Amino acid sequence: MGTRHVLTAIALASSPAAANPVEVFGLTSRHAAQANAGVASVDDAAALYYDPAGLVADPKLEFEVGSVVAVSHLQIQDHFASLTDPVGFQIAMRAPLPLAGALANRIVVGIALHLLPTEVVEVVAPPPDRPFYPYYGDRLSRIVVLPGAAVRLDHGVSLGFAVNVLAGLGGTISASEGATRAIDSRVDERVPTIARIIAGAQYELAPQWKLGAVYRQRFEIPFSTSAVTNVAGEPIDIDLSASGAFTPDTVVAGGAWSDANLTASLDLGWASWSAYPGPFVRVNSELPLVGPVPGQTPVVPFKDTFAIRGGVELTRGTWVFRGGYGFETSAIPKSQPGVTNLLDGPHHTIGVGAGWLHGTMRIDAHVQLQIVGGRTITKTIYDGTGTYDPFTSVRDEDTATPGTQTSNPGFPTLQSGGEVLSAGVTFEVWK
């Protein structure tokens, strides 16, 4: 704060990085190769994410294990954002309950996991002026745990649900002088369970046609800590809160056509990004001699996104070939004349892959390219008219010095865009 010179290079070097969970890079190579399309066609343990109703589409005892790796070529001005957690491991399994008679193969349970090599989760809430890609930020640096179940009803209808489970962190640290001037302090930090629903349905319209729809509930990892300290009669209260790993309410619906050797699917999706509170820390503090300190958190008008995805899977003997394409609009405003430097653009996803069948096992591999459209952010200097809005302009931080003095790394312009390449292998065995 205060007068500073432009320090763009330092800010860019510390931009948040990403891992590769299922929301962005897909669950298992089979579906990542189809650009994550297939709410109507999914029929394996990966249904726990794509559409839990698909768990019961082709009931069998099944176990899948794999890995996915990603590299980034996303531009931030003349630098590139790197990935600090480029490797993830995926496990998915399902099993029909051992029921006989009319209930045989009608209820299937399963669990899917995306695991990071070294951590459970990382919540990153940068200062408002730091340039970074929220879509590839800390929402990717988390493990994913999806237990679920599905039931097959009559008339070609199947219903399923899964629970998206993780943890948050919140609590209070308090310290103050007691009656004897000794410090009386208490700490109560809790790691609460965060659980959100994924619910889906599939309907067999005709022998070769299926419809599917899935709803994924908004998910975020809350972090808050309140340090309430009173020293020598002076309050030192620091109250910080943030939401990490945000994924909005999402609805996806689609259709699929299949015969003995070919499956084609098409999905349409909507995500409620307009409800995103933003990636920034919310503060409410009181410091000695300074008194209450209001936070300066810009209100960003995030936009709902729309997506279309298509995928095909072709079987030829013991080989399976797959491909897919997806397009998703950006939730991030294209124009950011104020302090924020949130980087994004329309997303194009292209996937290809292949699998090799041997008895009751299959090995799949895929490559997926995500292209983020290029953008240029241009800043506007606050002219002193009206109430200052940190989203619409930046301040001249030292009006006594000629010219514009601002530490915002996006001033006067900031270029973004690029590609993220991911690849993976999955081994599947069933009985």
Which residues in the 24-83 window bind other proteins by CB under 8 A?
61, 63
42, 51 in Cβ contact below 8 A? yes
Stretch that binds other proteins, among 28-36, 90-98, 154-162, 412-420 (CB under 8 A): 90-98
Residue 243 binds other proteins, judged by CB under 8 A: no
Q: Tokens 């003995």 identify what position?
A: 260
Q: Give the three-class secondary structure for 271.
A: strand
Specify the DSSP element, H or E, that contains 262: strand 262-271
409, 338 in Cβ contact below 8 A? no
Q: Tokens 């298992």 identify what position?
A: 28
Residue 295 binds other proteins, judged by CB under 8 A: yes
Residue 107 binds other proteins, judged by CB under 8 A: no
Put residue 278 in one of left, alpha, beta given phi > 0 → left and psi -120 to 50 → alpha.
left
Stretch that binds other proteins, among 220-228, 253-261, 307-315, 349-357 (CB under 8 A): 220-228
Residue 186 binds other proteins, judged by CB under 8 A: yes
Stretch that binds other proteins, among 188-196, 203-211, 255-263, 327-335 (CB under 8 A): 188-196
Stretch that binds other proteins, among 198-206, 225-233, 303-311, 415-423 (CB under 8 A): 225-233
> Letter for the amino acid at 250?
T
* Interface of this chain with other proteins, residues 149 to 168, rule: CB under 8 A: 167
- In sign, the C-alpha dihedral spanning 298, 269, 334, 137 is positive
Torsion on CA atoms 8, 9, 15, 17, rounded to nearest 10: 150
Which residue, 386, 389, 393, is CA-closest to 412?
A: 393
Minimal distance, residue 63 CB to other proteins, in Å: 7
What is the Cα–Cα distance from 209 to 277, expressed in whole angstroms? 40
CA 279 to chain centre: 12
Residue 132 binds other proteins, judged by CB under 8 A: no
Q: Considering the complex, state which of residue 182 and residue 206 has its C-beta at the smaller distance from other proteins.
A: 182
How many residues make contact with other proteins (CB under 8 A)?
A: 79
Torsion on CA atoms 365, 52, 166, 220, rounded to nearest 10: 100
Q: Considering the complex, state which of residue 190 and residue 334 has its C-beta at the smaller distance from other proteins.
A: 190
* Interface of this chain with other proteins, residues 326 to 385, rule: CB under 8 A: 382
Q: Out of 69, 87, 95, 425, point to the residue binding other proteins (CB under 8 A).
A: 95
Q: Out of 13, 104, 157, 299, point to the residue binding other proteins (CB under 8 A).
A: 104
* Interface of this chain with other proteins, residues 382 to 401, rule: CB under 8 A: 382, 388, 395-397
Residue 290 binds other proteins, judged by CB under 8 A: yes
Residue 125 binds other proteins, judged by CB under 8 A: yes
Residue 242 binds other proteins, judged by CB under 8 A: yes
Q: Out of 10, 78, 100, 179, point to the residue binding other proteins (CB under 8 A).
A: 100
**What residues pair up with 363 in beta bridges, in sequence order?**
356, 427
Q: Tokens 């920034």 identify what position?
A: 280
Minimal distance, residue 255 CB to other proteins, in Å: 32
Residue 207 binds other proteins, judged by CB under 8 A: no
Residue 6 binds other proteins, judged by CB under 8 A: no
Q: Out of 5, 157, 184, 259, point to the residue binding other proteins (CB under 8 A).
A: 184
What is the Cα–Cα distance from 95 to 74, expressed in whole angstroms? 40
> Letter for the amino acid at 237?
D
* Interface of this chain with other proteins, residues 258 to 277, rule: CB under 8 A: none
Minimal distance, residue 317 CB to other proteins, in Å: 27
Minimal distance, residue 123 CB to other proteins, in Å: 5
Q: Give the three-class secondary structure for 30.
A: helix
Pairing type for strands 262-271 and 305-316 reads antiparallel
Q: What is the CA radius of gyration of the chain?
A: 25
Residue 294 binds other proteins, judged by CB under 8 A: yes
Go through the chain and tell me how many residues it has. Answer: 431
Which residue, 51, 24, 29, 27, is CA-closest to 39?
A: 51
Q: Out of 183, 262, 275, 361, point to the residue binding other proteins (CB under 8 A).
A: 183
DSSP 54: G
What is the Cα–Cα distance from 55 to 264, expressed in whole angstroms? 19
Stretch that binds other proteins, among 69-77, 94-102, 149-157, 262-270 (CB under 8 A): 94-102
Minimal distance, residue 349 CB to other proteins, in Å: 28
Minimal distance, residue 67 CB to other proteins, in Å: 16
